[in-house]
Amino acid sequence: MSDVRVEKTVCLFCPPGCGIDVHIKDNVPIKVESNLESVVGPICIKGEVIPEWYQTEAKNRILHPLLKVDGRWKQISWEQALDTMATKFTAIREKYGAQAVATYIGQVADLHDLTYIVRRFNMGFGSPSLYSVHQTCWWGKGTAHAMTYGLYSSPTLINSKCTIIWAANPIGSVPFAADFMTVAKTQGTKWITVDPRRTFFAKASDIHLQLRPGTDGALALGMLNVIITEKLYDEKFVEKWVLGFDKLA
């Protein structure tokens, strides 16, 4: 189709930011495919349905403040909306204290602005009550990556000689997971699954470490002990780039 162009970009529905090729016609996305040049991917169902999302959700977004009056939503101005919220927030703080106002946000990637905007609001209002899925989900991993590498590091399975799936069941959340494992195995990739359950990947892996629930830390320390004791790590790399390795050992 001569009137269709392909733009290369990234999917921002979750933090890794998989590379995507977006097929565009009349400035409207009509198809999304994995960008084979990207080291992050292939994409999952969230990236594939971007055209459908654009046609439905994006066009149905609320673009103006609404106020419920007599049981019905009425469009109001931004000035009226801000004045209404400021009045109610101030009344709550005066009566119950600033901590009585809490904010909660869903998953937001590091480089998105929403996290910082909400945090600034809480600081200005005086409330420490800021919550998100990060407390129980992704943010712990993101923090560890930032402390180790300086920023979140997106893993890639491309050309991996050995892949460990630890306490996860990708077949339940990533549609292409089974196909990717099949392709990787033809390239000689070895798979290890760490999970008390006999999941799809556990059954298909070269090694299934069926540990007792709650003993992940002991297993990790045991693996580190063998790696360090038998010098199975890149000593030159560690000497040049790694801090605190002696304390770890």
Q: Can you spell out the DSSP letters for 163-221?
A: EEEES--GGGT-TTHHHHHHHHHHTT-EEEEE-SS--HHHHHSSEEE-PPTT-HHHHHH
Q: Which of 17, 6, 7 is nearest to 39 (CA)?
A: 17
Identify whether 42 is preceded by a cis peptide bond (ω within 30 of 0): yes
Pairing of strands 190-194, 207-209: parallel
pLDDT of residue 37: 86
Question: Measured between alpha carbons, how far is 182 from 179 in angstroms, rounded to an integer?
Answer: 5
71, 47 contact by CB (below 8 A): no
Q: How confident is the model at residue 41 (pLDDT cuts 50, 70, 90)?
A: confident
pTM over 0.85: no
Rounded to the nearest 5°, which phi and psi values hold at 192? -125, 130
Of the ranges 90-94, 97-101, 178-182, 219-223, which one carries the lowest mean pLDDT score?
Answer: 178-182
Per-residue pLDDT, 234: 95
Which of 28-37, 101-110, 146-155 has the weakest average pLDDT?
A: 101-110
pLDDT at 96 over 80: yes
E strand or H helix at 67: strand 66-69
What pLDDT, on a 0 to 100 scale, did the predictor assign at position 176? 61
Residue 40's pLDDT is what?
78
> What are the backbone angles phi and psi of residue 148, rounded to the nearest 5°?
-90, -45
Q: Virtual CA dihedral for 224, 228, 234, 240, nearest 10 degrees?
A: 100
Give the domains, in start order, of the chain with CATH numbers: 4-60 (2.20.25.90), 64-96 (no CATH), 100-152 (no CATH), 162-248 (3.40.228.10)
Specify the higher pLDDT residue, 36 or 109.
36
- The residue that leads in pLDDT, 222 or 117, is 222
